[in-house]
């Protein structure tokens, strides 16, 4: 009888120990799974929000850092002969980005383009081959003719009397007469007879004197 009484408690202890071991293993498995998910998710979040930073200098073949919009490239490759003067022999009275006093409006502003002093009726010529993209007639602001050239270049002629029959979509050749210098009127009526001329590359205005042999008027 004594042997049976001792056997029962021993069996119960073994079952209890086995249950505890199973429970501990299950708990460890759960903890390991939770930690794995946490670290994986944490690493993904870290990559998206805070990419690693290195102080190593860039390799020689690495592209340069972006420093904003680049300046328009020179479509002439430095060859100013690609364009001709819009008014032959005319002198420039106001240059690009000059602080200009408009005597008609009694206002000061930075001048975008070049003014060429010329007699009324003087020929205005296309500076290069191109296509007429705009003819805008305005008694207040001055008639405008715009020509689109190769390599994203555009030339604009203001205070012009367009040539008879000239229309948008027409192709023009370098040196072709596209109009005449008009009498002074509109917003620059008191500023003398002249052609207001502008150039742009890919929609950005540039200084025409960088591409044309401009003759500055002596003061």
Per-residue tens of pLDDT for the chain, all 219 residues: 444 445 556 677 777 777 778 777 777 777 677 665 555 444 443 333 333 443 444 444 443 444 334 445 555 444 445 899 999 988 777 777 677 778 888 888 778 889 999 999 999 999 999 999 999 999 888 999 999 999 999 999 999 999 999 999 999 999 999 999 998 888 888 888 999 999 999 999 999 988 887 544 443
Give a yes or no: residue 196 inside a domain.
Answer: yes
159 within 8 A of 200, measured Cβ to Cβ: no
Give a yes or no: residue 143 inside a domain.
Answer: yes
CA distance 96 to 99: 9
Residue 147 has a pLDDT of: 98
For the beta carbon of residue 144, count every other beta carbon within 10 angstroms: 18
Among 120, 124, 116, which residue's Cα sits nearest to residue 91?
116
Give a yes or no: residue 122 inside a domain.
Answer: yes
Give a yes or no: residue 58 inside a domain.
Answer: no
Where in the sequence is the domain holding 100, given as residue range(s)? Answer: 84-216
DSSP-H helix ranges across 50-94: none
86 within 8 A of 116, measured Cβ to Cβ: yes
CA distance 158 to 169: 18
CA distance 12 to 15: 5
**Domain CATH number, residue 126:** 2.70.70.10
Q: How many domains does the chain divide into?
A: 1
| pLDDT tens per residue, range 166-189 | 999 999 999 999 999 998 888 888
116 within 8 A of 92, measured Cβ to Cβ: yes
Give a yes or no: residue 32 inside a domain.
Answer: no
Residue 214 has a pLDDT of: 54
Give a yes or no: residue 62 inside a domain.
Answer: no
Give a yes or no: residue 206 inside a domain.
Answer: yes
DSSP state of 81: G
Residue 54 has a pLDDT of: 39
Task: Give the H or E element holding residue 26.
Answer: helix 2-49
120 within 8 A of 213, measured Cβ to Cβ: no
Give a yes or no: residue 33 inside a domain.
Answer: no
């Amino acid at each position: 009888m004594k042997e049976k009484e001792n056997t029962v408690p021993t069996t119960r202890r073994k079952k209890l120990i086995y249950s505890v071991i199973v429970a501990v293993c299950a708990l460890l498995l759960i903890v390991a799974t939770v930690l794995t998910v946490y670290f994986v998710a944490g690493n993904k979040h870290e990559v998206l929000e805070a990419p690693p930073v290195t102080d190593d200098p860039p390799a020689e073949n690495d592209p340069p850092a972006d420093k904003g919009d680049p300046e328009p490239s020179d479509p002439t490759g430095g060859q100013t002969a690609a364009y001709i003067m819009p008014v032959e022999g005319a002198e420039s009275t106001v240059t690009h980005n000059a602080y200009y006093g408009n005597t008609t409006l009694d206002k000061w502003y930075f001048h975008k383009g070049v003014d060429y002093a010329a007699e009324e009726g003087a020929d205005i010529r296309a500076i290069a081959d191109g296509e007429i993209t705009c003819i805008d007639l305005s008694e207040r602001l001055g008639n405008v003719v715009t020509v689109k050239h190769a390599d994203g270049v555009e030339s604009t002629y203001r205070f012009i009397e367009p040539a008879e029959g000239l229309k948008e979509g027409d192709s023009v050749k370098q040196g072709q007469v596209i109009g005449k210098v008009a009498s002074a009127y509109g917003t620059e009526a008191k500023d003398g007879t002249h052609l207001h001329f502008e150039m742009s590359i890919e929609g950005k205005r540039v200084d025409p004197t960088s591409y044309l042999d401009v003759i500055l008027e002596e003061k």
